[in-house]
Amino acid sequence: MKEVFVNDLIQEFLQHVEIEMGRSINTVRNYELYLNRFYELCSEDLSHEMRPTDITTEMLRKYRLRLNRLDVDEHGSHLTAQTQAYYLIALRGFLKYLAKRGVDSLDPALVELPKTHRPQVTFLHFDEVQALLDEIDLDTETGLRDRAIIELLFSGGLRVSELCRLNRSDINLEKKEFVVRGKGSKDRPIFIDDSAASRVKDYLCARHDSLPALFLNNSKNAGITSTSGDYRRLTPRSIQRIIEKYTRAAGITKHVTPHTLRHSFATDLLMNGADLRSVQSLLGHSNISTTQIYTHITDTHLKDIHKKFHSETS
């Protein structure tokens, strides 16, 4: 039987992630980075090319130690616990792949993830969203575009990458609903309100082109050498700059990103009585634990209920 080596198996696993698992190219690149780092840090202890049977609990222990001590820049910064978890998730996925193929190696169940702190969620209240929208000049095509972008993000809870990929033909402004393909190539429905649909319609009516992208870069020099249909499509970084511009104009001191509007969408739903499972579906989270980062919002709401309905002692 031909001997197999870890380096070759990593390449086969990456192909498996892309083809069989249907993950995005960005996900495949991340997995490649994480697994190549594993190979780099662990193969130095070996006098031969790494084999699957070389991956032991002792190698895992040393790997975790080296990850934790790894300098990532000239300032001596280290990987956060969350980033270390991504590295270990990739390794665990690789070991599961080996087990499925019947390749003898470390049991993937032995790869435990580090405890991470729940991220702090920044969101805008409805009046803050309105203050941001009020700063937009609707007498220009650019203003109409920016208003449509922000309302669509807040009304539909879209990821910025999903919004950037939208074409005119994707969105049904009459039904005010459409489908996007999110993380893991999973489709989910998006519902928008009358205002967001109206703003998108106003923007499209102001355009005089036949390009497919729903939102365009209005820069005169945008993609001047490109012949593809997407040469003027807005990028996530462009939308970040648009939101930063109106955030400053509105005097909002919070750090507001496109994802902040997605957080605002979720918290607005919860504050108005939506259940966590429904919000999970609307956000396209595969795991309810991801949606539970918003539970501090419902906790605040419960505090108000307690104050309103619970009798005080005299």
Would you give per-residue pLDDT tens digits along the chain (314 residues)? 578 899 999 999 999 999 988 887 888 999 999 999 999 999 988 999 999 999 999 999 999 999 998 877 666 788 888 889 999 999 999 999 999 999 999 999 999 988 766 667 889 989 999 999 999 999 999 999 999 999 999 999 999 999 999 999 999 999 999 999 877 678 899 999 999 999 999 999 999 999 999 999 987 555 444 445 577 899 999 999 999 999 999 999 999 999 999 999 999 998 888 888 898 999 988 888 788 888 766 666 667 777 777 766 55
Q: Is 285 a catalytic residue?
A: yes
Is there a single domain that holds both residue 162 and residue 51? no
Cβ within 8 Å of residue 125, ≥6 positions away: 264
Is there a single domain that holds both residue 205 and residue 156? yes
Is 208 inside any structural domain?
A: yes
Active-site choice (37, 64, 147, 159): 159
Q: Is 78 a catalytic residue?
A: no
Is there a single domain that holds both residue 45 and residue 20? yes
Domain containing residue 40: 6-110
Nearest to 261 by CA among 149, 183, 178: 149
Helix (H) or strand (E) segment spanning residue 261? helix 258-271
Q: Is 16 a catalytic residue?
A: no
Is there a single domain that holds both residue 281 and residue 160? yes
Q: Is 183 a catalytic residue?
A: yes
Is 118 inside any structural domain?
A: no
Is there a single domain that holds both residue 170 and residue 275? yes
Is there a single domain that holds both residue 225 and residue 283? yes
Is there a single domain that holds both residue 191 and residue 237? yes
Is 80 inside any structural domain?
A: yes
Using left for φ > 0, alpha for ψ between -120 and 50, and beta otherwise, residue 91 falls in alpha
Q: Is 262 a catalytic residue?
A: yes
Determine the pLDDT at residue 22.
Answer: 81
Is 38 inside any structural domain?
A: yes
Active-site choice (62, 96, 183, 245): 183
The CATH number assigned to the domain holding 166 equals 1.10.443.10
CB–CB of 14/23 below 8 Å?
no
CB–CB of 290/284 below 8 Å?
no
* CB count in 10 Å sphere of residue 21: 15
Is there a single domain that holds both residue 184 and residue 60? no
**3-state secondary structure string, 89-141?**
HHHHHHHHHHHHCCCCCCCHHHCCCCCCCCCCCCCCCHHHHHHHHHCCCCCCH
Is 202 inside any structural domain?
A: yes
Give the integer Cα–Cα distance in Å for 279 and 123.
Answer: 15
For the chain, what is the radius of gyration of the CA atoms? Answer: 24
Active-site choice (31, 87, 203, 294): 294
Is there a single domain that holds both residue 157 and residue 261? yes
Is there a single domain that holds both residue 179 and residue 287? yes
pTM given for the model: 0.67
Instruction: Give how far Cα 128 sits from Cα of 46, 57, 137, 146, 298, Å.
Output: 58, 51, 17, 16, 19
* CB count in 10 Å sphere of residue 138: 14
Determine the pLDDT at residue 218.
Answer: 84
Active-site choice (101, 259, 296, 301): 259
Is there a single domain that holds both residue 254 and residue 153? yes
**CA angle (118 as vertex; 117, 121 as ends), nearest 5:** 135
For residue 214, the one-letter residue type is L
Let me know how long the chain is.
Answer: 314
Q: Is 159 a catalytic residue?
A: yes
Determine the pLDDT at residue 226.
Answer: 47
Determine the pLDDT at residue 145.
Answer: 97
Count: domains in the chain: 2
Boundary-marking domain end, from 76, 110, 144: 110
Is 250 inside any structural domain?
A: yes
Is there a single domain that holds both residue 136 and residue 281? yes
Boundary-marking domain end, from 77, 110, 143: 110
Helix (H) or strand (E) segment spanning residue 186? none
Determine the pLDDT at residue 220.
Answer: 58
Active-site choice (37, 199, 232, 262): 262
